[in-house]
Amino acid sequence: MSSAILETKALSVSIGGKQVCRELNFALHAGERWGMLGLNGVGKTSLLHTLGGARQSDAGEILLDGASLAATPRRHAAQRIGMMYQDSDEAFPSSVMEAALIGRHPHLHAWEWESAQDEAIARAALHAVGLSGFEARSTATLSGGERRRLALAALLVQDPQLFLLDEPVNHLDVHHQIAALELLTRLTCEQGKTLLMVLHDVNLATRYCDCLLLLFGDGETLQGPARELLTEANLQRLYRHPMRRVQTDSGDFFYPM
């Protein structure tokens, strides 16, 4: 097993007096696709932001490439970790091309302008998410799904090793959900990228995740290979609702009873 790009040691996180995780130990390696599952309000977003360095933990340590994330220069961390937030609204109006080029900022020096090569990278990323021809459009004119695909394009432009994705298929129709997840899968298979995705659809996790991190609430977690954790008993405990598994030619399918 190669060295972990991101590793937690006895990590404890809470928000609003609620324990998200308690003494969590896990590691993310190149080529892995992780899914984070749990009820609404259990703290998935808070944990994801903590792993990306956007908020502080209560205790424990996060290591990036074997070194403390807290002590890592922000520019270097941004070159290694890319974060897709739950909401993709732009603070200020911009063109689609300008929004995509934001992903190049960690790779530019202070006051350095984007080059023709940077613009070519952005155009390729927009093409990859189906937004070719949108370069001059104002982000204010985009639909929710188009904004989500633009956020993914900006991450492709950033080209991090680790993608931390908060509900990456939110607002997307079925076609674009599958297209986005297939694209991310190719990144792990062909480029050795690492994914950690907050998902609400357990069947997308079944199809696209190798490993899972389950948040049960009150600090309880469970992590490991998806094929071992995706059981009716675990999902019923996770979602507090009876779940049934059906075996199909395409793999297991879970539905609420």
Question: What dihedral angle (degrees, nearest 10) is formed by the CA atoms of 165, 166, 168, 172?
Answer: -170
Integer Cα distance of 178 and 250 in angstroms? 15
* The listed CATH number (2.60.40.420, 2.60.40.740, 3.40.50.300, 3.40.50.10860) that belongs to domain 6-88+160-256: 3.40.50.300
The 10s digit of each residue's pLDDT in 104-128 is: 999 987 777 889 999 999 999 999 9
User: Is 100's pLDDT higher than 80?
Assistant: yes
**Within 10 A of 214 (CB to CB), how many other CB atoms are there?**
21
The 10s digit of each residue's pLDDT in 29-47 is: 999 999 999 999 999 999 9
**Of 51, 63, 72, which is closest to residue 163 (Cα–Cα)?**
51
* Annotated domain spans of the chain: 6-88+160-256
Q: What is the pTM of this model?
A: 0.95
